[in-house]
């Protein structure tokens, strides 16, 4: 195999705790210098293939592996969850970590660091704390670390999924510029922007088989594969979710923010960094309405919904009612919050237990089987939440946070990593909760997600 090539032979992967393999008997060869777009439904095994080439399966990630996944040359892997890639306190040190371990000379390391940070549009400087970055900014930081390695093979797992369109275009240009003649495998759900820049499209089925493999032209001319966001396809119709699964169990609240500012404080052994994440926010979450917070990466969208949900205390202004003063059990009963990193909220050993956990603590009944069925997770009821794909974990986080039917629903990027069918399930649940009387707030870059009110944010300020 020439330098930069990658090959799967009889590749089969079954995560620990899963009955069936995610990928079974897969054979696939990527030639040196090829740019391949890897697509398929949520849970089809796309991330598993990248992890297999990186040597993480059966070692870092527990499970049963047979067959082989080989790559010739140095790889750079961008993880689906960028928070998993942060290794240092400061941005410069984080990006330098890979080149340092590769033995790159010191003077060259810092030129690579600066070039990579500039390439992905992170202009804070080397000393900026990584803990002060938004999810989208962490995604760009992780990519900068990969690009600084100058690998022979780029493995990119949804590199623009958490970014607004303008930032995504900047990041895509940085990737393409760095890729040059390097072998590149990109996993994405929203594929249209990538099609002009790849040589080949490989489509996986829901059970991890290759169902299509060819040029972009052949892919577009063929029958649209299941579970793929095809260019120009209409927005899927949201799934109809029964009201008894989503109707608020108590009287919904109206939550109002009046000139709210939030300052995030990060304390380390080397000092304290204060960041104004939200400034002058005035808005209202009303029962029976969906309010979408939009804006570029780092604008403060996640902090805004956290403040409205009582999860962070305003530095100035007021949130009514003062949810941050409520005791935990009372707050959990009233507010369902889904974080941007879904696995941060997992506490149970199985998917089914995760869905029922909050309901048990708040003394509410939940039809676990019906909830899992809506989100396409019924077959994973006995699986460990950490053995699911990224898209499956996100849907589980939504199910776990909302199954007890709170009156206030707050979701941070709920449709990231979803194929058309699972997107319809997420959108359907959100819409049904709103129609049943819940007050819904969503932080999102997804222009297709239905909303009644839009709050545009820029650099922490609402407009």
- Residue 33 pLDDT exceeds 90: yes
Taking only the tens place, the pLDDT of each residue in 411-451 is 999 999 999 999 999 999 999 999 999 999 999 999 999 99
Greater model confidence, 164 or 70: 70
pLDDT in tens, 248-293: 998 899 999 999 999 988 777 777 778 888 999 999 999 999 999 9
Residue 461 has pLDDT above 70, yes or no: no
Q: What percent of the chain has pLDDT over 70?
A: 98
The per-residue pLDDT for 174 is 84
Per-residue pLDDT of 116-136, as tens digits, reads 999 888 988 898 888 888 888
Rounded Cα–Cα distance for residues 22 and 72 (Å):
24
Query: Within 13 Å, how many C-alpha atoms sit on residue 267's CB side?
Result: 0
* pLDDT reading at 185 higher than 60: yes
Whole-number pLDDT of residue 376: 96
Strand partners, 408: 335, 439
Average pLDDT over residues 140-149: 92
Q: Is 255 helix (H, G, I), strand (E, B) or coil?
A: strand
Average pLDDT over residues 232-238: 95
> Which residues are within 8 A (CB) of 419 and not within 5 positions of it... i.e. 6 or more apart?
40, 41, 42, 189, 227, 228, 229, 391
Q: What is the pLDDT of residue 2?
A: 57
Residue 104 clears pLDDT 60, i.e. is over it: yes
CA distances from 261 to 129, 257, 278, 294 (A): 21, 10, 5, 17
1 pLDDT above the threshold of 60: no
What is the enclosing helix (H) or strand (E) of 369?
Answer: helix 368-374
Q: What is the mean pLDDT of the chain?
A: 92
Using the CB atoms, write b or e for 393-422: b if 16+ within 10 Å: bbbbbbbbbbbbbbbbbbbbbbbbbbbbeb
Per-residue pLDDT reduced to its tens digit, 332-387 = 999 999 998 887 779 999 999 999 999 999 999 999 999 999 999 999 999 999 99
> What is the distance of C-alpha 136 from the center of its chain?
9
Binning the chain into helix, strand and coil, the percentages to the nearest 5 are: 35, 25, 40
- Tokens in use for 178? 């760095």
CA dist., res. 326 & res. 332, Å (int): 9
CB atoms within 10 A of CB 51: 23
pLDDT of residue 59: 87
- Evaluate if pTM is beyond 0.85: yes
Mean predicted confidence (pLDDT) in 157-165: 88
Please give the Cα distance from 140 to 85 (Å, whole number): 11
> If pLDDT is split at 50, 70 and 90, which confidence band does 236 have?
very high
> Among residues 404, 281, 424, which one has the least CA distance to residue 332?
404
**Could you give the residue ranges of the DSSP H alpha helices within 72-164?**
91-101, 106-119, 135-149
Rg of the Cα atoms in the chain? 22
pLDDT at position 173 is 87
């Amino acid at each position: 195999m020439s330098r930069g090539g990658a090959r799967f032979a009889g590749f089969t992967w079954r995560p620990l705790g899963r009955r069936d393999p995610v990928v079974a008997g897969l054979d696939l060869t990527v030639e040196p210098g090829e740019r391949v777009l890897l697509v398929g439904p949520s849970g089809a095994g796309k991330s598993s293939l990248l992890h297999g080439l990186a040597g993480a399966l059966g070692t870092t990630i527990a499970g049963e592996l047979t067959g082989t996944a080989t790559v010739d040359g140095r790889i750079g892997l961008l993880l689906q969850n960028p928070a998993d890639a942060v290794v240092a306190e400061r941005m410069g040190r984080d990006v330098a970590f890979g080149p340092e371990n590769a033995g790159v000379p010191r003077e060259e390391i810092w030129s690579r660091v600066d070039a990579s940070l500039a390439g992905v549009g992170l202009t804070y400087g080397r000393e900026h704390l990584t803990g002060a970055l938004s999810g989208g900014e962490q995604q760009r930081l992780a990519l900068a670390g990969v690009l600084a390695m100058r690998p022979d093979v780029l493995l990119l797992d949804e590199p623009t999924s958490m970014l607004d369109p303008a930032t995504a275009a900047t990041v895509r240009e940085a990737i393409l510029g760095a890729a040059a003649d390097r072998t590149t495998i990109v996993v994405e759900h929203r594929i249209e922007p990538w099609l002009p820049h790849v040589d080949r499209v490989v489509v996986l089925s829901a059970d991890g088989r290759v169902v299509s493999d060819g040029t972009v032209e052949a892919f577009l001319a063929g029958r649209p594969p299941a579970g793929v966001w095809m260019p120009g396809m209409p927005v899927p119709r949201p799934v109809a979710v029964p009201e008894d699964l989503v109707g608020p169990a108590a009287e919904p609240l109206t939550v109002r923010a009046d000139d709210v500012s939030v300052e995030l404080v990060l304390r380390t052994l080397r000092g304290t960094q204060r960041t104004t994440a939200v400034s002058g926010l005035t808005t209202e979450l009303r029962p029976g309405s969906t309010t979408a917070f939009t804006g570029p990466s780092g604008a403060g969208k996640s902090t805004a919904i956290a403040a409205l949900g009582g999860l962070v205390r305003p530095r100035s202004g007021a949130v009514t009612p003062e949810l941050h003063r409520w005791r935990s059990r009372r707050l959990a009963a009233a507010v369902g919050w889904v974080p941007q990193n879904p696995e941060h909220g997992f506490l149970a050993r199985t998917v089914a237990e995760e869905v029922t956990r909050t309901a048990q603590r708040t003394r509410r009944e939940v039809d676990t089987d019906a909830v899992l069925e809506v989100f396409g997770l019924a077959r994973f009821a006995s699986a460990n939440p950490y053995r699911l794909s990224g898209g499956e974990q996100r849907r589980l986080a939504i199910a776990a946070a909302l199954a007890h039917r709170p009156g206030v629903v707050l979701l941070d990027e709920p449709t990231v990593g979803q194929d058309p069918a699972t997107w319809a399930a997420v959108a359907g649940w959100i819409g049904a909760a709103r129609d049943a009387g819940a007050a819904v707030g969503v932080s999102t870059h997804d222009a297709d997600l239905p909303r009644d009110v839009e709050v545009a944010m820029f650099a922490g300020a609402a407009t």
